[in-house]
Amino acid sequence: MSNVIIKRPKEIFELFSSLGNLSGVGEKKINLLEKKIGPYLINLLFYLPHKSINRFQYMSLKEVNHGDILTCEVEVVEINIPPFNFRKKNNMSRIITFGLNNEKNVRLDIVYFGQNTQYLKNIYKVGNRVFVSGKFENFNGLGQIAHPDYVVKATEKKLIPLFQPIYPLFYGINQKFISKIINQGIKKIPLIPEWLNKDILIKYKFPNWHTCISRIHNPENNDDLNLNSIFRKRLALDELIANQISMLLIKNKISKIKEIKKCYSNSELIENFYSNLPFELTGNQIKVINEIKGDIHSNKTMVRMLQGDVGSGKTIVAVISMLNAILDGSQAVLMVPTEILAIQHFNTIKDLLMPLKIEPTLLLGESRSVYDNKTRSNIIKQIEDGEIKIIIGTHALISKKIIYNNLSLAVIDEQHRFGVKQRVEITEKGNNVDVLVMTATPIPRSLALTAYGDMDISVLSEKPIGRKLINTYVLSQTKIAEVLSSIERAIKAGALVYWVCPLIEDSENSDLIAVNERYNFLKNNFKNINVSLIHGKQNQIEREKSMNDFKSGESKILVATTVIEVGVDVPEATIMVIECAERFGLAQIHQLRGRVGRSNKESSCILLYNSNLSSIAHSRLKILKENDDGFKISEHDLELRGPGEILGSKQSGNLEFKFVDLHIHNHMIPVARDEARKMLENEYDKEKINVLLSIFENNDAIRLLKGG
Residues that bind Mg ion (CB under 5 A): 567
Backbone φ, ψ for residue 94 (5° rounding)? -130, 125
User: Shortest Cβ distance from residue 651 to ligand ADP (Å)?
Assistant: 18
User: Shortest Cβ distance from residue 347 to Mg ion (Å)?
Assistant: 14
* Listed ranges 97-105, 304-312, 331-339, 389-397: which one lies at the site for ligand ADP (CB under 6 A): 304-312
595 lies in the site for ligand ADP, by CB under 6 A:
no
316 lies in the site for ligand ADP, by CB under 6 A:
yes
CB nearer to ligand ADP: pick between 71 and 282:
282
CB nearer to Mg ion: pick between 453 and 567:
567
Q: How far apart are CA 415 and CA 438, in angstroms?
A: 6
281 lies in the site for ligand ADP, by CB under 6 A:
yes
Backbone φ, ψ for residue 487 (5° rounding)? -65, -40
Q: Of Mg ion, ligand ADP, none, which one sits near residue 282, judging by CB under 5 to 8 A according to partner kind?
A: ligand ADP
List, as one string, the DSSP characters of 540-597.
Answer: HHHHHHHHHHHHHTSSSEEEE-GGGSSS---TTEEEEEETTGGGS-HHHHHHHHTTS-
CB nearer to Mg ion: pick between 591 and 652:
591
User: Shortest Cβ distance from residue 169 to ligand ADP (Å)?
Assistant: 43
**Cα atoms found within 13 Å of the Cα of residue 673, Cβ hemisphere only:** 13
User: Shortest Cβ distance from residue 289 to Mg ion (Å)?
Assistant: 16
464 lies in the site for ligand ADP, by CB under 6 A:
yes
Residues 6+ away with beta carbon under 8 Å from 502: 512, 513, 561, 562, 579, 580, 583, 584
User: Shortest Cβ distance from residue 413 to Mg ion (Å)?
Assistant: 6
Rule CB under 6 A: choose which of 134, 148, 165, 311 binds ligand ADP: 311
Residues 402-441 within binding reach of ligand ADP (CB under 6 A): 440
Q: Please classify residue 516 by burial: count the beta carbons closer than 10 Å to its beta carbon, then call 0-12 exposed, 13-18 middle and 19+ buried.
A: middle
Per-residue binding letters, 539-578, with ligand ADP (x by CB under 6 A): ----------------------------x-x-x-------
User: Shortest Cβ distance from residue 418 to Mg ion (Å)?
Assistant: 14
User: Shortest Cβ distance from residue 467 to ligand ADP (Å)?
Assistant: 8
Q: Of Mg ion, ligand ADP, none, which one sits near residue 598, judging by CB under 5 to 8 A according to partner kind?
A: ligand ADP
CB nearer to Mg ion: pick between 33 and 564:
564
CB nearer to ligand ADP: pick between 280 and 626:
280
User: Between helices 339-353 and 540-552, what is the axis angle to 10°?
Assistant: 50
User: Shortest Cβ distance from residue 542 to Mg ion (Å)?
Assistant: 23
Radius of gyration, CA atoms only, the chain: 31
- Do residues 93 and 112 lie in contact, with contact meaning Cβ atoms separated by under 8 Å? yes
Q: What is the DSSP letter of 330?
A: -
Q: How far apart are CA 182 and CA 40, in angstroms?
A: 12
CB nearer to Mg ion: pick between 647 and 679:
647
84 lies in the site for ligand ADP, by CB under 6 A:
no
What is the maximum alpha-carbon separation in the chain?
102
44 lies in the site for ligand ADP, by CB under 6 A:
no
Give the count of beta carbons closer than 10 Å to the beta carbon of residue 479.
13
289 lies in the site for ligand ADP, by CB under 6 A:
no
- Do residues 708 and 258 lie in contact, with contact meaning Cβ atoms separated by under 8 Å? no
User: Shortest Cβ distance from residue 563 to Mg ion (Å)?
Assistant: 14
Q: How far apart are CA 143 and CA 67, in angstroms?
A: 11
Going by their DSSP bridges, the two strands 603-609 and 573-578 should be labelled as: parallel
* Listed ranges 13-21, 313-321, 516-524, 667-675: which one lies at the site for ligand ADP (CB under 6 A): 313-321
- Do residues 410 and 332 lie in contact, with contact meaning Cβ atoms separated by under 8 Å? yes
Q: How far apart are CA 125 and CA 419, in angstroms?
A: 63
598 lies in the site for ligand ADP, by CB under 6 A:
yes
310 lies in the site for ligand ADP, by CB under 6 A:
yes
* Listed ranges 22-30, 97-105, 174-182, 309-317: which one lies at the site for ligand ADP (CB under 6 A): 309-317
CB nearer to ligand ADP: pick between 285 and 699:
285
Q: Of ligand ADP, Mg ion, none, which one sits near residue 446, judging by CB under 5 to 8 A according to partner kind?
A: none
CB nearer to ligand ADP: pick between 216 and 596:
596
Q: How far apart are CA 194 and CA 208, in angstroms?
A: 7
243 lies in the site for ligand ADP, by CB under 6 A:
no
Give the count of beta carbons closer than 10 Å to the beta carbon of residue 520.
14
Q: How far apart are CA 202 and CA 412, in angstroms?
A: 44
CB nearer to ligand ADP: pick between 64 and 460:
460
Residues 112-171 within binding reach of ligand ADP (CB under 6 A): none
312 lies in the site for ligand ADP, by CB under 6 A:
yes
What amino acid occupies position 371? Y
Shortest Cβ contact with Mg ion: which residue? 567
Rule CB under 6 A: choose which of 265, 279, 552, 674 binds ligand ADP: 279
CB nearer to Mg ion: pick between 360 and 567:
567
Shortest Cβ contact with ligand ADP: which residue? 313
282 lies in the site for ligand ADP, by CB under 6 A:
yes
186 lies in the site for ligand ADP, by CB under 6 A:
no
User: Shortest Cβ distance from residue 436 to ligand ADP (Å)?
Assistant: 13
Question: How far apart are the two ends of the chain, measured CA to CA in Å?
Answer: 20
User: Shortest Cβ distance from residue 593 to Mg ion (Å)?
Assistant: 14
Give the count of beta carbons closer than 10 Å to the beta carbon of residue 512.
18
CB nearer to ligand ADP: pick between 72 and 322:
322
443 lies in the site for ligand ADP, by CB under 6 A:
no
**How far is Cα of residue 155 from the mean position of the Cα atoms in its chain?**
50
Rule CB under 6 A: choose which of 143, 165, 308, 442 binds ligand ADP: 308
Q: Of Mg ion, ligand ADP, none, which one sits near residue 244, judging by CB under 5 to 8 A according to partner kind?
A: none
Count of residues touching ligand ADP (by CB under 6 A): 19
User: Shortest Cβ distance from residue 680 to ligand ADP (Å)?
Assistant: 35
Q: How far apart are CA 126 and CA 97, in angstroms?
A: 9
Q: Of ligand ADP, Mg ion, none, which one sits near residue 312, judging by CB under 5 to 8 A according to partner kind?
A: ligand ADP
361 closest CA partner among 331, 401, 338: 331
CB nearer to ligand ADP: pick between 411 and 534:
411
Q: How far apart are CA 657 and CA 655, in angstroms?
A: 5
- At 424, is the secondary structure helix, strand, or coil? helix
CB nearer to ligand ADP: pick between 293 and 314:
314
CB nearer to Mg ion: pick between 134 and 567:
567
Give the count of beta carbons closer than 10 Å to the beta carbon of residue 169.
12
Q: Please classify residue 117 by burial: count the beta carbons closer than 10 Å to its beta carbon, then call 0-12 exposed, 13-18 middle and 19+ buried.
A: middle
User: Shortest Cβ distance from residue 52 to ligand ADP (Å)?
Assistant: 46
Rule CB under 6 A: choose which of 219, 313, 360, 442 binds ligand ADP: 313
List, as one string, the DSSP characters of 637-681.
Answer: HHHHH-HHHHHHHHHHGGG--SS--HHHHGGGHHHHHHHHHHHHH
603 lies in the site for ligand ADP, by CB under 6 A:
no
Going by their DSSP bridges, the two strands 331-335 and 390-393 should be labelled as: parallel
Q: How far is CA 343 from CA 235, 362, 560, 673, in A?
A: 46, 7, 17, 40
CB nearer to ligand ADP: pick between 434 and 565:
565
* Residues making contact with ligand ADP (CB under 6 A): 279-282, 285, 308, 310-316, 440, 464, 567, 569, 571, 598
